[in-house]
Amino acid sequence: MGIISMEKVDHLYWLGRYTERVYTTLRVFFHIYDHMIEQPEGVYAKYCEKLNIPEIYTSNRQFVQSYLFGADNPDSVYSNMKRAYDNAIVLRDELSSTVLSYVQLALDTFESCRKTTAPLLELQQVIDDLLAFWGGADDYVEEEDCRNILKCGKYVERLDLSIRLDYHTKDLEKEYRKLCNRLEKTNLDYSKEKLSRLEAIILQGEDPKSYCQEALACLGGLFT
Amino acid sequence: MRELIEHTEGINRLMARYGVKFGIYKNGEFHEQLFPFDAIPRVITHEDFQQLEKGLIQRVDALNLFLNDIYGEKKIIHDGVIPEEFVFISSGYLPQCEGIIPPKKIYSHISGIDLVLGKDGEWYILEDNLRIPSGASYPMIAREICRRVSPATFGNNSVVDNRNYADMPKETMEWVNTGGIPVIMTPGRYNAAYFEHSYLAERTGSALASCTDLFVEDNHLYYRDYRDRKQKVGVIYRRISDDYLDPMTFLPESLIGIPNIMDVYRSGNVAIVNAPGNGVADDKGIYYFVPKMIRYYLDQEPILKNAPTYLPFYEEDRKYVLDHLENLVIKDVAEAGGYGVIFGNELSSEKLSEMKRLIEKESRRFIAQEVIDFQDMEVMDGDEKVLRKADLRAFVLSGETTRVWPSGLTRFSRNADSFVVNSSQGGGFKDTWVLSQWKK
Amino acid sequence: MRKLKFEYSMELKFSSPVNSHYFALRCVPGDSLRQKITLDVCRVAPADYTSMDRDGFGNLKISGCCGDYHDTFGYSVRGLAVTEGMIVQKCPLHPMYRYPSKYTQYEPEVRAFTKTAWKESGANSAETDLEKAVRVMDYLYHHFLYIPGVTDIRTTAADALRLGRGVCQDYAHIMTAVMRCAGIPARYVNGLMIGEGATHAWVEIYTDGGWYGLDPTNNLHVDDYYIKLAHGRDYGDCEVDRGIFRGNAVQRQKIYVNVEEISNDRDSCVNGTSRG
C-alpha cells in the first residue's frame, strides 16, 4: 500500500523495542536462573538495579514468578510481551497474518505456562516464536519502510539493554553500527546531535560505564 | 468429515494462532474471546443455493432501490406502499443524506442478510443488516484451516471455494472508487469486530486507518502518512456507525469521526461503504415492508419469505399481537445484536401485561413475529452430538452486479434452550458449504 | 417588498490557542421565494480553505478548517436582501416535518400544552390551519415568559414548557412541537430580524401548499423585515455555527447583527431592536 501513518510508525517502532526486550531479557534470565542454583537469596537485586526497575521482590522464587509472569508487575517479561502484542495487533495489514501469528503464539505461551514448575522449558517456545517473528518479518513484511522502522526499534532496544547490562565495548559498537545502518534507511526524524554524542561515547573509547546514563539519555531521546 | 470432527481442537488451536477473535465488553472491561468453531458444516445444495442466491439478490436490489428512492423522490411513499411514519421516525433515516447520490447509486455495498431454515425446508429472512455487517472473515479462515486438516473431506465433497471472499468487497470498492486509495476505517482494536477489520484490510490490500490518519481538505478526503505526505482516498469502508462518522454533521461529541467527510461525500469525491443513512432500510419496522418493496420496485414476487410479522402500528395487527403475545417474539426496533428480543412464552403474567401496555403506548417501537419452527443443527459437545439453534448470515455484494458469496456465517447458540445465536451472547460458528453443480 | 441591508458577524476568542479547528457555518442567507440575496462580503478567518454547498435541508453551509494554532476565529457576512413578507412559499412538503424530532418530542408537557392551547385559544373553531396556528401562537406568547439565561441550546420543547420561560429558540421549539402534535407540519427557522441585536429563531408552518412564517417570540407574522438563514426539524438540524478544535480553551463569543431598511428616500431607515 506504500503509505504508513504516524501512528503506525509509532507502533512499528515499539513493536521492535518490546519484542527485543522480551527476547533479550528472557535470554539473560536463563543465565540468572542458572546462577540462582548456587547463589544466595537476592541475586536479582543487582539485575534490577542495572535495568533500573524497582526491586520489589521478596525471594528468588517469588522473583522468578513475578518477574516472568506477573500481570500486575509492569516490569515483568509478560507485561512487556503484552505490550509487544498491543503494538502488533494493530499492524496486521503491515505485518501480514503470518508474521502477526508468532507474536500471538508467544503471548499465548506465556499465558498457558504461568503455573508451570519448569518455566524455562516452556519459555524456550517464546524465544523460538520471537526468532520466527523476526525471520517472518524479513520475509513477509513487504514494505521496506516498515521493516526498517521495526528494526530501528529493535536495535535501539538492543543497544539500550547492552549498555545497561555492561556489554563489552566491542558489542556496543556492533549494535550501534546496526542501528545507524537502519536509521539511514528510514525517513524518520531523529536528533543528529544526540546520535553523534552517542557515537562519541561508544566509538571513541570514552569509558562507557561512566557515561552510561548520558548514553542512555541520548538513545532514549533520539526520536523526540 | 469424521477427520474434521476429530481435529476440532487442533483447528481451534490454529485459529487462536491467527487471532480469530471477537471483542466483548463485560462490566465495562474489554475482553477478547475466541469464537468457538464447530467442525460439522452447514451444507447447502447447489439447487438450494441457486434459489437462495436469486432471492437474496432480488432482496438487496430492492433495498438499494428503496434507499435511492427515500433519499430522492420518495415515490414509494407517495404511492402509499409504505406509511411515511415508518420511514421518517426511524432513527436510521438521516435527513442530512437527502439529495445525495452515492457513487454508482449504490447504498448497500456489503449486506449481511440473516436467515433461518424452517422445518418445512424453507428459508426465512430474519433481518437485513445494511450498515456494518461483520462475520465473513470467520468462515473464510476456517475453510483454509479445514482444508489443511482434512484434504480428503474436501476431496470427497465438491464444495465451492469460499476463500476468495476478500476479492468481492475489493471489486465492489474498486467499482465505486472515485479515484484514490481504498481504506478500511476502524474505530480501533477495542471494537468487537477488530479482527475482521484488520484481516480484511490485509486481504483487500486496503490501508487500515483510524480517524487520526484521515482528514478532509478542500472537499477531498486524505490519508496522512508519517512523512506528512497525503494520499487521496477514493473509497472508505468505514466500520463505525453513522452517528459517529462526522462530528460536524452528526453527533458533535464523536471523537472517532472525520470532520466534514459528509461534505466530501455529498460532492461525490469519495465513496462511503456502506452509505450513511442505510439504517432506514434495515430498521426492524421496515423489514415488514421489504416484500412490498420487491413487488413495487422490481415488479416481482419475493422469492424468499419474511418470518410472519405483525406491526402493532396497524390496529388489526395490534389486536392479534395483544391476544397472542405469549406465542410471539417481540423485537424492539431500536435495539441491535440480539438485544431487545423478547420471547412472549418466557414472560411472567405480570411482565406480559407490562409488555402489552408498552405495545399499546409505543406501538411503532415494536414488531412481533411468529416463532419459526426452525431446523436444529448438529453441534459437537465434547464427544457427543447435540442439537442447537442456528442461523445463517449470507453476504451480498453490490458492485457492477449483485453477487452472493457462496458460503456464509452459520452461528449456533450455546445453550440447548436458547434461540439467540448472536456471537456477542456466546455461541460459536460453523463453516457453510455450498455444494457445486458437479458432483464428485 | 423591501430592501434590507444586513450585516452579521461573529467573533470567537479562545483563552489559549487551539488548532485543528473544523467548522460548519450556516451564516449566509440563501435565495428563496421570499428573499433574494446579494452578498457584498463573506469572510471566514482564519481558514485554510472553505467551501460552500447546500446541506440535506437545502440550507447554505460553509465548511472548512483552520489547522494551525489560533486564538480568534470569526466570520462576517454583509449584503443586501430583497424580501417579501407574509407569503406562502409554495413547495412540496417533506414528510419529516410532520413528525417529532429530537427537540420536539411529544412528551406529556407538549401534549398537555397542545390540548389546552387548542381549546383556550379558540383554535378549535378556526377554519384554516393558518388561523389555528396564529391563535395558538397568540396563546403561547401570552403563556410563556421571555426570560434569557434560564434555558440553553440543549433545552427541548418539553423542558422549556416545564420551566415556563425561555428565549426565541424555546418559543420556536414549543410552537413547532405543538403544531406537529396537532397535525400541522412545521419547521424551525434561524435568521435575522430588523434592528440591531442577535440572531433570531421562528417557525414556518405548512399550509396551503407551502411554508408560511410565524414568529411566536414576538407574536408576529413573518413579514419582510425578516431574513432567513436556515431551517430544519429543530435547532439541531440547522445550527448557525458548529466547530470542533483541539485545545483546552475557554471561548467567548461576540455576535453582531444589524439589519436596516434601505428606503428609496435614502435618508430614512427603519430601526428597532429584535428579541432573540
Distance CA C91, CA B359 (A): 36
**Choice between A224 and C103, residue whose per-residue pLDDT is larger:** C103
Is the domain of A207 the same as that of A128? no
How many of the other CB atoms lie within 10 Å of CB of C59?
20
- Would you state the pLDDT for residue A1? 43
Query: Roughly how many angstroms between the first and final C-alpha of chain B, as a whole number?
Result: 15
Average pLDDT over residues C31-55: 95
**Choice between C1 and C26, residue whose per-residue pLDDT is larger:** C26
Is the domain of B317 the same as that of B235? no
Is the domain of A125 the same as that of A159? no
Is the domain of B282 the same as that of B350? no
Domain boundary among A142, A159, A178: A142
By residue count, chain C amounts to 276
Q: Pick the residue from chain B with its C-alpha nearest to C55.
A: B96
What average pLDDT does chain C have? 93
Is the domain of B348 the same as that of B212? no
Whether B90 is covered by a domain: the verdict is yes
- Would you state the pLDDT for residue B32? 81
Is the domain of A22 the same as that of A114? yes
Domains contained in chain A, number = 2
How many of the other CB atoms lie within 10 Å of CB of A122?
14
Q: Does B97 touch chain C if contact means CB atoms closer than 8 Å?
A: yes
Most B-contacting residue of C18, C237, C240, C244 (CB-CB within 10 A), to test interface? C244
**C147: which residues sit within 8 A by CB, 6+ positions away?**
C165, C166, C167
Distance CA B200, CA B197 (A): 5
* Sole residue written with cell 467548522: C23
**Choice between A62 and C265, residue whose per-residue pLDDT is larger:** A62
Most B-contacting residue of A97, A99, A100, A188 (CB-CB within 10 A), to test interface? A97
Average pLDDT over residues A140-167: 93
Fold of C2-84+239-268: Immunoglobulin-like (2.60.40)
Q: Pick the residue from chain B with its C-alpha nearest to A87.
A: B189
- Would you state the pLDDT for residue A110? 93
Is the domain of B180 the same as that of B276? yes
Average pLDDT over residues A60-67: 93
Average pLDDT over residues A120-139: 95
- Would you state the pLDDT for residue B419? 64
Domain boundary among A106, A127, A142: A142
Q: What residue numbers bound the domain in which A73 lies?
A: 1-142
Is the domain of A72 the same as that of A130? yes
Element spanning A224, H or E = none
Question: Checking phi first, is residue A132 left (phi over 0); if not, alpha (psi -120 to 50) or beta?
Answer: alpha
In this predicted structure, the answer to whether residue A210 has a pLDDT above a threshold of 80 is no
- Would you state the pLDDT for residue C276? 55
In this predicted structure, the answer to whether residue B336 has a pLDDT above a threshold of 70 is no
In this predicted structure, the answer to whether residue B316 has a pLDDT above a threshold of 50 is yes
Query: Which among C261, C267, C212, C269 is positioned nearest to C81, based on CA atoms?
Result: C261
Helix intervals (H) in B165-216: 167-176, 194-204
Tens digits of per-residue pLDDT, A71-122?
A: 999 999 999 999 999 999 999 999 999 999 999 999 999 999 888 888 888 9
Residue B140 confidence class, pLDDT cut points 50, 70, 90: very high
Three cell numbers, residue A119: 518455566
In this predicted structure, the answer to whether residue C58 has a pLDDT above a threshold of 50 is yes
**Contact across the interface for A93 and B201, Cβ inside 8 Å:** yes
- Would you state the pLDDT for residue A224? 76
Element spanning A218, H or E = helix A212-220
Three cell numbers, residue C217: 417570540
Three cell numbers, residue B406: 457462496
Is the domain of A91 the same as that of A170? no
Is the domain of A99 the same as that of A185? no
Residue B306 main-chain phi, psi, to 5 deg: -75, 155
**Contact across the interface for B202 and A89, Cβ inside 8 Å:** no
- Would you state the pLDDT for residue B341? 82
Is the domain of A16 the same as that of A74? yes
Percentage, residues of chain B above pLDDT 90 = 72
Q: What residue numbers bound the domain in which B316 lies?
A: 308-370
Residue B241 · residue B132 · CB < 8 Å: yes
Q: CATH 3.10.620.30: does it fit domain C89-237?
A: yes
Residues in chain A closer than 8 A to B207 (CB atoms): 1, 3, 5, 93
* Poorest-pLDDT segment among B38-47, B267-276, B346-355: B346-355
Residue A92 · residue A100 · CB < 8 Å: yes
Average pLDDT over residues A24-36: 92
Query: Which among A214, A209, A178 is positioned nearest to A16, based on CA atoms?
Result: A178
Is the domain of A128 the same as that of A181? no
In this predicted structure, the answer to whether residue B183 has a pLDDT above a threshold of 50 is yes
**B97: which residues sit within 8 A by CB, 6+ positions away?**
B71, B275, B276, B277, C56
Percentage, residues of chain A above pLDDT 90 = 66
List the single residue in B198, B199, B207 with the smallest CB-CB distance to A3. B207
Domain boundary among A142, A170, A191: A142
Locate the domains of chain C by residue range: 2-84+239-268, 89-237
Average pLDDT over residues C102-127: 94
Min Cα distance A77 → chain B (Å) is: 20
Distance CA C114, CA C174 (A): 9
- Would you state the pLDDT for residue C265? 56
Whether B405 is covered by a domain: the verdict is yes
Average pLDDT over residues B176-195: 92
What average pLDDT does chain A have? 91
**Contact across the interface for C57 and B77, Cβ inside 8 Å:** no
Is the domain of B185 the same as that of B59? yes
Is the domain of B270 the same as that of B317? no
Residue C234 · residue C188 · CB < 8 Å: yes
Tens digits of per-residue pLDDT, B106-120?
A: 999 999 999 999 999
Counting one residue from chain B and one from chain C, the pairs whose CB atoms sit within 8 A come to 66
Residue C178 main-chain phi, psi, to 5 deg: -65, -40
ipTM (interface predicted TM) = 0.91
DSSP letter for B159, please.
B
Q: Beta partners for C54? A: C60
Tens digits of per-residue pLDDT, B67-77?
A: 999 999 999 99
Residue B48 · residue B56 · CB < 8 Å: no
* Poorest-pLDDT segment among A71-85, B347-361, B392-406, C224-238: B347-361
Q: Beta partners for C81? A: C4, C37
Tell me which amino acid residue C98 is: R
DSSP letter for B294, please.
I
- Would you state the pLDDT for residue C142? 97
Is the domain of B362 the same as that of B286? no
Is the domain of A111 the same as that of A169? no
Residue A11 · residue A153 · CB < 8 Å: no
**Beta strand B110-117 pairing with B123-129:** antiparallel
In this predicted structure, the answer to whether residue B286 has a pLDDT above a threshold of 90 is yes
Is the domain of B294 the same as that of B416? yes
Domains contained in chain B, number = 2
Chains A+C touching (3+ CB pairs under 8 Å): no
